[in-house]
Amino acid sequence: MRMRTRTAAGAAGTLALLILTGCGAADMTRQASPYAAARGTKTVTLSVQSWVGAQANVAVAKYLLEHELGYRVDTVQVDEVPAWDALSQGRVDALLEDWGHPEQEQRYVAGKKTIARGGDLGVTGHIGWFVPTYFAKAHPDVTDWKNLNKYADELRTAESGGKGQLLDGSPSYVTNDKALVENLGLDYKVVFAGSEAAQITQIKQFAKERKPFLTYWYKPQWLFEKVPMTEVKLPAYKEGCDADPEKVACAYPHTPLQKFLNADFARDGGKAAAFLKNFRWTTEAQNEVALMIAEQKLTPEAAAGKWVAANEPTWRKWMP
C-alpha cells in the first residue's frame, strides 16, 4: 500500500516537473508586473524614485501618457539601483532620472543590451556639501573645505559623537561622503538620516532655530527656496577622479540626468516609447512641479495637471 502511494507521488512529482519544464525555458528578462495592463489597455510601467524631482517627472509623463496618448500608466516605487535591475528584467519600462551609475551602464547597456538609453532629461544635477546661507554669511571662510575642521566643534550633535556632523540622507542616493571625509582628513562623521524626508525635517528644524549645519544636498531641489544654502567648495572635479570609490578626494560632477528604457520597450513601445524619448524639460519646470507637490501638498496628479494646462507649447513638442 505504502509502496504504491510512494510510486504514485513520485510519478505525480515527475509529471509536474515535466509540465513545468516541458514547455521550455522561462525567460527571466520578460517579467512584467502582474498588475500591469489589467484592463486590456496599453500599459506603461514607470519607476518612481523617492525624491520629489523624480516624482515630478513621472507625474507629468504619466499625465500626458494617460490624457493625451490613451495609455494606462502603472508606477512602481523603486530606488535607482534596483530600478536598473527591474528595467533589465522588464518589470518596469522606464527610469526617467538617473544620476549616473557607470557600473550598471556598463553591465546592462553595453554588456547585456537589455537596457537602452533614452536621452537627456534636460535637467543637470549636482551633488555637493551645503551650509545654510545665514551661517556662511557670518563665517565666509566656511565655504572652503580646508577650513571645515575649524568649525567641527560648532557642528557637533548627539549622533556624531566627538566630531562634526555631516548630514546624509536616504541610503539610496549616490554618495562618496564617507570616503571624502576620510581622504580629505576631516574631523567629521557622516550621519545618515535614513530617508530624505527625515533629512528635510532635520534641516528645517535647524533652520528654524538658525543653528549651523553641514549637509549632503543636491540641485535641483525645491528646499533651496525654503532654506537658502551655500555650497562648500570641495577639491575641483576632474574627469575620472571618482573612478575608485575608496580613493575619491574631489567634488561631485555636474551630471546631465539621463533617461533609460527597457530595450524591448524602446524598440516595440510605439508612441509611449517615442514620447518618453522626447520628454525633455528644464530645471525650472521640474522645480515648479516639485514645489507644488512638496510644499503646497498637491497630489502629483493635480500638480502635473496644473503644469500641463499652463505649458502646452513645451509638451506639444514631445508628442510623437
Partner 1 sequence: MTAAVTAPARPRTPVAARRYWPVAAALVLAALGLLLAGRGSWPAALSVDLSGPLGSASDWIVDNRDSHPLFLYFFGHVSNAVVLSVRGVYLVLLAAGWAGVTAAAGLVAWRLAGVRLAVTAVAAFAVCGLLGMWVPTMQTLALMVVAVAASVALGAVLGLAAGLSDRTYRALRPVLDTMQVLPAFAYLLPVVLVFGIGVPAAVLATVVYAAPPMARLTALGLRSADPGVLEAAASLGATGRQRLLTARIPLARKELLLGVNQSIMMALSMAVIASVIGAGGLGDRVYQALASVDVGAALAAGIPIVLLAVVLDRTATGARSRGGSGRAWTGCAAAVVAAALTGRLTGGLTWPEAWHVDIAEPVNRAVDWMTAHLYSGVPLIGGTADWAAHFTGWVLDPVRDGLQALPWWALLMAVGALALVVGTWRTALTAVGAMAAIGVLGVWDASLDTLSQVLAAVAVTLVLGFGIAVGAARSTRLERLLRPVLDVFQTMPQFVYLIPVVALFGVGRAPAVAAAVVYALPAVVRITTQGLRGVDPVALESARSLGATGWQQLRQVQFPLARPALLLAVNQAVVLVLAVVIIGGLVGGGALGYDVVFGLAQGDLATGLVAGAAIVCLGLMLDRVTQPTAEKEA
Closest distance of CB 145 from partner 1, Å: 25
Nearer to partner 1, 218 or 315 (CB): 218
Q: Between β-strands 43-48 and 229-232, what pairing exists: parallel, antiparallel or unpaired?
A: unpaired
Closest distance of CB 276 from partner 1, Å: 21
Nearer to partner 1, 170 or 262 (CB): 170
Closest distance of CB 281 from partner 1, Å: 22
Beta-strand ranges (E) seen in the chain are 43-48, 72-77, 94-98, 115-132, 164-168, 188-192, 214-219, 229-232, 254-262
With contact defined as beta carbons under 8 Å apart, do 117 and 260 qualify?
A: yes
Q: Which among 114, 159, 154 has a CA at the least distance from the CA of 135?
A: 154
Closest distance of CB 296 from partner 1, Å: 12
**Residue 177: count of CB within 10 angstroms of its CB:** 20
Nearer to partner 1, 26 or 110 (CB): 26
Cα 179 to Cα 317: distance, rounded to the nearest angstrom? 43
Cα 318 to Cα 118: distance, rounded to the nearest angstrom? 13
With contact defined as beta carbons under 8 Å apart, do 221 and 53 qualify?
A: yes
With contact defined as beta carbons under 8 Å apart, do 129 and 216 qualify?
A: yes
Nearer to partner 1, 91 or 219 (CB): 91
Nearer to partner 1, 60 or 83 (CB): 83
Cα 193 to Cα 200: distance, rounded to the nearest angstrom? 9
With contact defined as beta carbons under 8 Å apart, do 31 and 89 qualify?
A: yes
Q: Match 522645480 to its residue by C-alpha cell.
A: 287
Nearer to partner 1, 12 or 138 (CB): 12
Closest distance of CB 92 from partner 1, Å: 9
Q: Which residues are CB-contacts of 288 (< 8 A; sequence separation ≥ 6)?
A: 307
Nearer to partner 1, 7 or 21 (CB): 21
Nearer to partner 1, 39 or 317 (CB): 39
Closest distance of CB 177 from partner 1, Å: 14
**Contact residues: partner 1, CB under 8 A:** 1-2, 5, 20-21, 25-29, 31-35, 38-39, 50, 52, 76-79, 81-82, 84-86, 89, 91, 107, 112, 114, 158, 170-172, 192-198, 201-202, 297
Q: Which among 275, 309, 259, 260 has a CA at the least distance from the CA of 65?
A: 275
Closest distance of CB 121 from partner 1, Å: 21
Q: Between β-strands 72-77 and 43-48, what pairing exists: parallel, antiparallel or unpaired?
A: parallel
Closest distance of CB 277 from partner 1, Å: 25
Q: Which residues are CB-contacts of 12 (< 8 A; sequence separation ≥ 6)?
A: none
Nearer to partner 1, 161 or 256 (CB): 161
Closest distance of CB 238 from partner 1, Å: 25
Give whole-number Cα distances, 207 to 50, 123, 192, in Å: 23, 27, 18
